[in-house]
Structure 1
């Protein structure tokens, strides 16, 4: 019974995240290609995780796709904030770091991968928060935190007792639902924030002219 509840919660959370991320990607694609790609990959990985694992190989693919989506989505959203604020060097460094982590993930230990993943998550978040702070874009800051939260918190949450009065399996499902819900909110908030930030930048350029 607990396993059925866990599968149901996990599937519903993945459906919610997939729909939200793919819709946000569609809305962003015209003016914000980098975050559109990141949210598209996030939506695809969530869609892949909807299906129950049928083999260890398929489970491995689901976990890798889920991890890649969680890494790239906040990084590419932060990349666009940096790019629009004309901090192109930092944007390129963040993008190269994300690509290097994805390329080297099979060559480093699990502990090193966890550490590097958290470092990249913190870097993406700090870049997003810095730009949004100076631009007074509170929605962008909220979106950055919501998108980065699973990347920073998931490894530690899985080892703790999050809700003590339910079984560990249901607890794991509830935790994943909360983190997926956080990313869904992050997709929506980042979409609104990027559109607003682009308008602000465009208005400033017109005033300067």
Structure 2
């Protein structure tokens, strides 16, 4: 059964917005934080592989989303923790992401889904904790929106707010990425 045209447009638009927001974030953070910029670029690549017709298969899209989640998100959180002096959490997140990336081939689809959602929630919670203690409002919003995306992905419903659940999650990730980019900028201004 072919997908409905409005579902195709909704998915394409959510991928496009996430890709554009992540690309803007990567460019604006590249000079100050190469790790965060790399994390944003992984999100761009995962979002744009789905937009190119005939370029990718469903398995390729899932692999791209997996890499963006288990490596890209820890890269985003790494700099936030590192600048605030929490080097052990920064290294633990990044190391955990690398281990999950390597172990992903040995996990089934359900295992990858649970591990990816867990990584998303861990990154969101740790960003939120650091943002609360440093008073970084954008960081609080970024962590909260990443957490919302992780929470919504675990719901059983197929549609949320009249849109497919995956599209709503991508919109939440886009808002979280934008807020997190602003949080990194605010954090850099505070430490200068």
Q: Do the structures match in fold with TM over 0.5?
A: yes
Q: Which range is displaced more, 192-201 or 176-185?
A: 176-185
How far off its partner does 1:60 sit? 0.5
CA–CA separation in structure 2 for the residues paired with 1:120 and 1:112? 12
How far off its partner does 1:2 sit? 5.5
How far off its partner does 1:152 sit? 4.0
Tell me if structure 2 keeps the 8 A contact 1:74–1:144. no
From 141, 150, 157, the counterpart of 1:160? 157
Structure 1: gaps of 5 or more residues: 203-209
CA–CA separation in structure 2 for the residues paired with 1:193 and 1:10? 27
Distance 1:163 1:90, change over 3 A: closer
Partner of 1:201: 191
Tell me if structure 1 keeps the 8 A contact 2:69–2:120. no
Distance 1:140 1:79, change over 3 A: same
Partner of 2:83: 84
The within-5 A match list for 1:165-184 is 171-172=163-164, 175-184=165-174
Deviations along 1:100-140, whole A, 9 cap, x unmatched? Answer: 11110111234433333333223212211111111001211
Q: Does 1:22 align with 2:35?
A: no
Partner of 1:74: 73
Distance 1:163 1:15, change over 3 A: closer
- TM-score norm. by structure 1 comes to 0.81
Deviations along 1:20-71, whole A, 9 cap, x unmatched? Answer: 101110100000111110011101110111134x59x711001111232133
Distance 1:99 1:176, change over 3 A: same
Partner of 1:205: none
Deviations along 1:148-207, whole A, 9 cap, x unmatched? Answer: 4334432x33x325359x7xxxx52xx2332211111112111111111111122xxxxx
The within-5 A match list for 1:52-131 is 52=53, 54=54, 58-131=57-130
Aligned CA-pair RMSD: 2.3
CA–CA separation in structure 1 for the residues paired with 2:40 and 2:93? 17
Tell me if structure 1 keeps the 8 A contact 2:74–2:94. yes
Aligned residue pairs total 191
Tell me if structure 1 keeps the 8 A contact 2:70–2:98. no
- TM-score norm. by structure 2 comes to 0.88
Tell me if structure 2 keeps the 8 A contact 1:121–1:152. no
Greater C-alpha radius of gyration: 1
**Secondary structure, aligned partner of 2:85:** coil
**Secondary structure, aligned partner of 1:106:** helix
